[in-house]
Amino acid sequence: MTKIIKADPAPYPKSNIPENKAISIFEHIIHENVKTDIRKNDKVPNTDGILEITNDNQIPLGRIDVQIKKLSDNNLKIPKHQCNLKYLAYCERSILPTLLILVDTTNDVAYWLSIDKNLLKYLAPLIKDGAKSLTVSIPTENIIKKKNKDYLEKWIEIINKHKEKLDNYDFLEKENLHLKSSYTVLADENNLIFGKTKSNFEAIHNPEIASKVCLKAFLDSFKMNHDMEESLQIALDTAKEANKNLELSINQYNTLKGQIIFYAKKHDLFELKLDDKLGDKPADFYSPNTNRYFDILTNPDYADIEDYLRCDSKEYKIAYVDTKSEEIEIIPTVFPTCPKCGGCLHSIFFLDNQYDNEIDIGFSYTQQDLVSLCIECGTSKIVDTVNYYINGPDFYPEYDFRYQDPNGFKEFSQKIWTRIGNFARKEFNVFISAVTCLEEEMWLAKDDFITVENPKWIHPILQLNSQNINKTIYFPTDNIYRE
């Protein structure tokens, strides 16, 4: 037959063949509770279609935007794909959750990856200047295969989190309007007092109100994105702005940061509520599920545990927050009582079995005991024992300058002992009152020595001073007596 037009019709792109095969295999292995609306041979960028997840009664639970690619034969053992940055940008802006699915057409399995905000934050620093794509790996446990639906539970969780953000939008918008209204009221009140216009933060002239605003900023952000670190940073930035405008004292600003860090990291665990009234003593937070009150402390050197002791049934916990490392230590105000005399039982970290390193650089301690000790009567019990090589201050080069710079070495030694005390607290998950070890002391004559147990570090909040009245809860700085 003679051709009228001497040309062939445009062919399908050869690249469509492996992609279409990948889609066909995916639709074959996917569970029946996933309804697919996948396009083949289409030119729509960024997405290949929609997956609608249903329950066992085939009732729709939600939708997911999906892009399906053939997994390269070179990446069968470690699934990964070279993602175009434009696709990642699309995922960031998508109103639906997005999945990247790589199909192993050799073994009839697939791997999935949720391209969410947390992943994009992780990937962003890895993008090189001028790059147009980035290699993204997929965990092998994110597998899709015939007669397996383990992935469905995770997909439903992704959908539910996304729906929660959408559901909370109206509430957060209303809360935001309420917060702006509160700012306006505060500004008006401030104008009446000072007779001039001030910014919103300048209107918050009370540090307690500033605290509530910063914690509110954290909570609003956390409800929206479920990202604790990002929400914490937003609240800290809010505190920084408040500090700049309010001219808070150093102590007020540090306490504000401590409150934010504690609330951000512990609000779920303790179901924290703001509480600034506790009889005649203030408290920062109240925990309904533990019926305890928490007060934030950012420098234990300037605190006295006696200020927190009470005669009623309300129990304080002191939350010491290191604002630099963002670590939190919970300090009790109620200690176990000695069964023999009724005194306070302290947990001490005893460094035993001193070991000479034999190269004249000091000693290491090869065995450590967690000891429950009553200071009043000496009743003691070894609760636990561990074996680490722990070095005292005399192990370090600074030990050689202890006579030339005694104050400097004393400060250095306390840092080492403090580090050991913090190690013990994390190791045993208990409040450590003191770190102790055995030392030789001169007795009656010049060459007459005895071995005694001395505290090398005492928690700052337990250190005795001349104003302390109730000495039973404090820890002595002299020799320790143990039965």
pLDDT of 144 strictly over 90:
yes
Say what the pLDDT of residue 444 is.
57
Q: Is the pTM of this model over 0.75?
A: no
Q: What residue type is 366 in one-letter code?
A: T
Q: Are residues 438 and 367 in the same domain?
A: yes
Give the CATH number for residue 112.
3.40.1350
The mean pLDDT value for 128-142 works out to 90
Q: Judge if 327 and 370 occupy the same domain.
A: no
Nearest CA to 164 out of 221, 121, 226, 117 is that of: 226
For residue 322, give both structure tokens: 């290191």
Any domain includes 367: yes
For 230-234, 345-349, 433-437, which range has the lowest pLDDT when averaged over its residues? 230-234
* Whether residue 179 has pLDDT greater than 70: no
Structural domain includes residue 354:
yes
Whether 263 is in a domain gets the answer no
Q: Is residue 8 part of a domain?
A: no
The three-point CA angle 164-61-163 to 5° equals 15
Percentage above 90 pLDDT, the chain: 26
CA–CA dist 18, 20 (Å, integer) = 5
Where a domain ends, among 309, 334, 359?
A: 334
Q: 35 and 116: one domain? A: yes
Q: Mind listing the pLDDT tens digit for each residue in 258-309?
A: 888 998 888 888 888 765 444 445 678 888 888 888 888 888 776 777 777 6
Mean pLDDT of all residues belonging to the chain: 79
The residue that leads in pLDDT, 403 or 457, is 457
Same domain membership, residue 207 and residue 96 = no
Amino acid at 190: N
For the chain, percent of residues with pLDDT exceeding 70 = 76
Instruction: Let me know whether 108 and 24 are in one domain.
Output: yes
**Considering 148, 178, 196, which residue would you say is the last residue of a domain?**
148
pLDDT band at 169 (very low <50, low <70, confident <90, very high): low
Which whole-number Å values give the CA distances from 320 to 257, 259, 296, 414, 461, in the listed order?
12, 10, 6, 18, 10
Residue 2 lies in a domain: no
Lowest mean pLDDT among 77-81, 154-158, 183-187: 183-187
Of 98-107, 170-179, 392-401, 460-469, the least confident: 170-179
Distance in angstroms (rounded) separating the CA atoms of residues 151 and 57:
18
Residues 6+ apart with CB under 8 A from 460: 300, 301, 303
Same domain as 104, residue 61: yes
Distance of CA 401 to the CA centre of its chain: 39
The answer to whether residue 5 is domain-embedded is no
pLDDT in tens, 23-58: 999 999 999 999 999 988 777 788 889 999 999 999
Look at residue 296 and tell me if it is in a domain: yes
Same domain, 141 and 207: no
Residue 301: other Cβ atoms inside 10 A: 7
Half-sphere exposure of 39 (CA within 13 A, CB side): 13
Number of domains in the chain: 4
User: Do 323 and 235 share a domain, yes or no?
Assistant: no
357 vs 344: CA distance, rounded Å: 37
Residues 79 and 193 in one domain: no
Above 50 in pLDDT, residue 137?
yes
Residue 256 belongs to a domain: no
Last residue of a domain, one of 220, 248, 276: 248
Strand partners, 332: 317
Same domain membership, residue 393 and residue 282:
no
Residues 191 and 135 in one domain: no
User: Which band of pLDDT confidence, cut at 50, 70 and 90, is reported for residue 106?
Assistant: very high
Domain that includes residue 272, residue range: 268-334
Instruction: Tell whether 22 and 130 lie within a shared domain.
Output: yes
Per-residue pLDDT of 188-213, as tens digits, reads 444 433 344 344 444 444 567 777 77
pLDDT at 205: 47
